[in-house]
Structure 1
């Protein structure tokens, strides 16, 4: 027997192995090299399987991987995965398309990873980990594309690196909740929209460029803080050089006494105005919504707004005043809202909404929440500012908010045409909503939701409450998403009971939500828009995915599409509607791993052809 005969077989095997190896993208090798540097005891990255690709087009196959339209990895979103270890970002330098990196809320420790090797990054999120130590001045040198940097709630010390201040395109910076010391540098970027330096050990004056940002530290002075730098410097200069430690504690004690006195006065005022308790009174489970006057009176009374003395005592606090987060809106206060004419728009277990017409004729919506006690005031303020920075044609902007421990008010703009639910299910209007309008609404909703996913990557569920009552319509019937991104501040039990994202299959089966929970809500909304039926997520509704799946696709046009819409859609539009039904089903897939990605859904929706004939008049639904 020829001893060399097995050689061709060996060659064939090697060729097959090499061929199989060539089928996987180089990005897969890079990610495996990165994975080898971290600890994944909980198996969060178990979908990173050898001999598979992380991307199929722009659809991701691996947990936490974001893919672009060319099938390359352009982001890592490894949030809330119980990952740990000391990160080495070196291998990621071989991903030329990598634009974002997020490891929020994990157990990573050690010093700052060398992100200077990843010069193409636009966003870095390291908040809520265990990083520590000083940051070298050159930590972010060369990262000229970096726009968003969040290092919040770690254990970093030392000065703020000069390379951070030198970032030319920086838009958002979160360094709060660390131990940074020294002076705040002058930032080079003139595009800064958000800076949070609170809860550190910083000293000196606040630079003019961030005077409207959150920079509250005990050692800082200047705007927006209520500490005069001249007073601070004169106090320091008047103290004896030989005994600085003698006067500083006295100055600190004096400040504490004044603060305690102010708080005591406020407490006395509130306690004297508090209504006496009523005993032995039976309270019915259902009661009418409080009037706008009752709501405002309660807020003003508790904040000390009922007397001249209490107004003065609370002037320097956030209690009793609206905090504005949107520029370009005329300023008003609680008294203006109290004087305005108003009507109740909606009332329920989740929120009570009022329309308030201000003296200048502007209409605003005031929403009253009683179940927003998940976070403290500082975190609540930060989240509201983040929402105030959002700007998109398909979002209803947050204008201002009012904070009290037991209840919150959110003030938004007013949508002229009310809600999509009114449009779809109002008996007077339903038959008037043509297919062109419904397609336009779906496209707008998908665009608005995708914007939230891009801007709020740190949130596991960027919207959280997507349904037809939370899609409002302007005078041209463009959709405006509202009540978005509230899960981080809602009481968990209340959110799980009432918010749309918690109706998804993964929460029903495993009591968890994920990024695709919003996608499931989008799918249900698409089916609701096309069938005209109330979904099962609402009382007395229909299981829409089951309904559509029970009918053969060739019969969808006659048996599934809303039969009250007249006229019957033309061939081009009908084809688009059938495809849109399929997109809705793909978004409603029970298994979230198989569920459509949001970007894929958006691309498919935008590719749909709308009706080509005629102009479509706006519908009056006032």
Structure 2
């Protein structure tokens, strides 16, 4: 018995670690076994009145190669669910966020214009979300102060026109990437939290029960975003220290206002005849005020010219939206908005219009699309509206007239890549560094690959790839614009203005190919690396010969390291990768289209590049690569 006892004492205690590991592995295995379809079907069970989701069944793919064949309201990217846009479907019941949390790549949800009730769902369970659209429902009650804690990627929050009460949750003010906030049309009370996000420009908290001073960080927001809160004060509203005026002062103010209104009325009668004659071809605006006047007048000219025929009056002010994830507005909202000229490109001028909601949009006028019939144009716009990729600027809406068109998209905060490469730099705004430039090139390549995958019928899927058509978001990620417009641009204008028609193959054989956009990509790579503007873009017409000369001037540099833009910086180790990218750019610019790389080959080599200064821009470790200045020794 003693011996047995001794044996029992000496026997090793089983380690709990293997059991824990087994449990973890079982958990992982079981979670991976659950498909997106299973998750969404479980989520649908929680919804009431879900008849509109009848096509959610396993007889069809959740994410098809053709987005139109995917499940209703499901948006996919690279075969995974990244968005749910279940708007205006009469849905009610509960929003089962526990189920949705199993969708690893879910980044945006929109349940606007439904009939959901009760408290705000626990949004923070979906910690990776970038956009939340819950406006125009019947949610009610106080929102917990920590409702948005830990949501470091959240950029857009739309909770407008519900029945929320209590204080605005302070966790909203701590979201580092917040860009758009819509809380209007609720019953929030108390003071506004101190929002410190430097890129937060689109805020609307009107028509609530808020009071006290407006935080200084929001003083630049339009006063309309705070209207309907009778106890708010401070910029952009009246000073908090102002007192109620006496009856005499009130009477004087009324008389003065009446005189001013009469004067304004007379001026408007005079100016009304001339407002449509304002043209953008004159002298450049000298300040923001005159820029706003020119932009507004030009938009008015576009919007009011349809009034000439009685049968067309119903068309006035009608924007056609091509996306489901946008709150609607009309052309009159653009005309009433404060406007600013962003620039005048080859096809027309672009205007930034800040709507009454505080959201900034960009409207671009095109006069070179009048050879395209209405049905053909509308079908192509719907086609573009179905595109969804992080490196493409989504088309939001369009306005059709035979003589000219308006294309409406979101405003991108950091402007164009061209302005950052060729603008004046300072300590506050330094030039783009090497990791940022490499990330931009990789993003551009991914956007191009998506276009060619989604628009296989187009020989040239972008057609106008250049640095001024690459916008940079708040994180300096690239967003392509002015893409896939070749089918609707007048051919004579396209040949004069578009990048695709400056390629060697068009100059030599009057044709474009599937490799034409690769030429544009190569030019862009060289421009990013050298900081030099391509000479073939400076004049109108086919300047392929100048473009080839520009490329050769870079390729023939005897001391290759001198070709790089000094503002790009980079350590000694990164120079090897820079030279690899230079060689990729030259291979994409090969004059002989047969020898030029195709897009897949170019993207493969671009993706292999790394930021080799010890870490890449995501913080991953990389081995060192020895620097060389001899292009012939750089292998890909």
TM-score by length of 1: 0.51
What's the offset of the Cα at 1:285?
Answer: 7.8
Are 1:560 and 2:563 an aligned pair?
yes
Matches within 5 A, 1:275-290: none
Query: What is the aligned counterpart of 1:168 among 52, 60, 63?
Result: 60
- Residues 343-399 of structure 1 deviation map (CA, whole Å, 9 limit, x = unaligned): 101114412100111111111100000011232110100000010111111111100
SS of structure 2 residue aligned to 1:291 = helix
Query: What is the aligned counterpart of 1:296 among 291, 296, 299?
Result: 299
What's the offset of the Cα at 1:291?
Answer: 2.3
Residue 504 of structure 1 contacts residue 520 of structure 1 at CA under 8 Å; is this kept in 2? Answer: yes
Residues 172/382 of structure 1: CA separation in 2 closer, same or farther (3 Å cut): farther
SS of structure 2 residue aligned to 1:604 = helix
1:486 matched to which residue of 2?
485
- Residues 220-247 of structure 1 deviation map (CA, whole Å, 9 limit, x = unaligned): xxxxxxxxxxxxxxxxxxxxxxxxxxxx
- Residues 125-151 of structure 1 deviation map (CA, whole Å, 9 limit, x = unaligned): xxxxxxxxxxxxxxxxxxxxxxxxxxx
1:550 matched to which residue of 2?
556
Residue 171 of structure 1 contacts residue 192 of structure 1 at CA under 8 Å; is this kept in 2? Answer: no
Return the alpha-carbon distance in structure 1 between the equivalents of residues 514 and 604 of structure 2: 18
Return the alpha-carbon distance in structure 2 between the equivalents of residues 603 and 172 of structure 1: 21
Return the alpha-carbon distance in structure 2 between the equivalents of residues 173 and 395 of structure 1: 18
Matches within 5 A, 1:123-134: none
Residue 467 of structure 1 contacts residue 521 of structure 1 at CA under 8 Å; is this kept in 2? Answer: yes
Residues 608/335 of structure 1: CA separation in 2 closer, same or farther (3 Å cut): same
Return the alpha-carbon distance in structure 1 between the equivalents of residues 587 and 615 of structure 2: 31
Residues 313/592 of structure 1: CA separation in 2 closer, same or farther (3 Å cut): closer
**More deviation in 422-431 or 345-354?**
422-431
1:346 matched to which residue of 2?
343
C-alpha RMSD over aligned residues:
3.7
- Residues 238-278 of structure 1 deviation map (CA, whole Å, 9 limit, x = unaligned): xxxxxxxxxxxxxxxxxxxxxxxxxxxxxxxxxxxx999x9
Return the alpha-carbon distance in structure 1 between the equivalents of residues 600 and 390 of structure 2: 18
Matches within 5 A, 1:83-482: 168-169=60-61, 190-191=71-72, 291-304=294-307, 314-315=313-314, 317=315, 320-428=317-425, 432-482=431-481
1:128 matched to which residue of 2?
none
Residues 400/458 of structure 1: CA separation in 2 closer, same or farther (3 Å cut): same
Return the alpha-carbon distance in structure 1 between the equivalents of residues 553 and 616 of structure 2: 33
Residues 376/428 of structure 1: CA separation in 2 closer, same or farther (3 Å cut): same
Residues 577/173 of structure 1: CA separation in 2 closer, same or farther (3 Å cut): closer
Residue 303 of structure 1 contacts residue 314 of structure 1 at CA under 8 Å; is this kept in 2? Answer: yes
1:512 matched to which residue of 2?
511
Return the alpha-carbon distance in structure 2 between the equivalents of residues 285 and 192 of structure 1: 44
- Residues 29-71 of structure 1 deviation map (CA, whole Å, 9 limit, x = unaligned): xxxxxxxxxxxxxxxxxxxxxxxxxxxxxxxxxxxxxxxxxxx
2:10 matched to which residue of 1?
none
What's the offset of the Cα at 1:167?
Answer: 8.2
Residue 171 of structure 1 contacts residue 193 of structure 1 at CA under 8 Å; is this kept in 2? Answer: no
Return the alpha-carbon distance in structure 2 between the equivalents of residues 420 and 519 of structure 1: 18
- Residues 501-546 of structure 1 deviation map (CA, whole Å, 9 limit, x = unaligned): 1110011112211111100000000000000101122228974421
Return the alpha-carbon distance in structure 2 between the equivalents of residues 371 and 428 of structure 1: 35
Return the alpha-carbon distance in structure 1 between the equivalents of residues 364 and 443 of structure 2: 24
1:588 matched to which residue of 2?
589
What's the offset of the Cα at 1:168?
Answer: 3.0
What's the offset of the Cα at 1:188?
Answer: 9.3
1:606 matched to which residue of 2?
607
SS of structure 1 residue aligned to 2:402 = coil
What's the offset of the Cα at 1:433?
Answer: 1.4
What's the offset of the Cα at 1:402?
Answer: 0.3
1:530 matched to which residue of 2?
529
Return the alpha-carbon distance in structure 2 between the equivalents of residues 284 and 602 of structure 1: 40
Return the alpha-carbon distance in structure 1 between the equivalents of residues 364 and 564 of structure 2: 35
Return the alpha-carbon distance in structure 2 between the equivalents of residues 485 and 188 of structure 1: 22
Residue 296 of structure 2 contacts residue 338 of structure 2 at CA under 8 Å; is this kept in 1? Answer: no
What's the offset of the Cα at 1:572?
Answer: 3.1
Residue 347 of structure 1 contacts residue 353 of structure 1 at CA under 8 Å; is this kept in 2? Answer: yes
Residue 339 of structure 2 contacts residue 351 of structure 2 at CA under 8 Å; is this kept in 1? Answer: yes
Residues 594/189 of structure 1: CA separation in 2 closer, same or farther (3 Å cut): closer
What's the offset of the Cα at 1:293?
Answer: 2.1
Residues 188/380 of structure 1: CA separation in 2 closer, same or farther (3 Å cut): closer
Residue 193 of structure 1 contacts residue 389 of structure 1 at CA under 8 Å; is this kept in 2? Answer: no
Residue 322 of structure 2 contacts residue 382 of structure 2 at CA under 8 Å; is this kept in 1? Answer: yes
Return the alpha-carbon distance in structure 2 between the equivalents of residues 507 and 386 of structure 1: 27
Residues 193/172 of structure 1: CA separation in 2 closer, same or farther (3 Å cut): farther
What's the offset of the Cα at 1:301?
Answer: 2.0
Residues 376/614 of structure 1: CA separation in 2 closer, same or farther (3 Å cut): same
Structure 1: unaligned runs, 5 residues or longer: 1-165, 175-186, 195-210, 212-273, 618-622
Structure 2: unaligned runs, 5 residues or longer: 1-57, 76-88, 90-271, 286-292, 540-545, 619-636
Residue 321 of structure 1 contacts residue 333 of structure 1 at CA under 8 Å; is this kept in 2? Answer: yes
SS of structure 2 residue aligned to 1:399 = strand
- Residues 409-465 of structure 1 deviation map (CA, whole Å, 9 limit, x = unaligned): 000111100000011011225853111111111111111111111111111110000
Residue 303 of structure 1 contacts residue 320 of structure 1 at CA under 8 Å; is this kept in 2? Answer: no
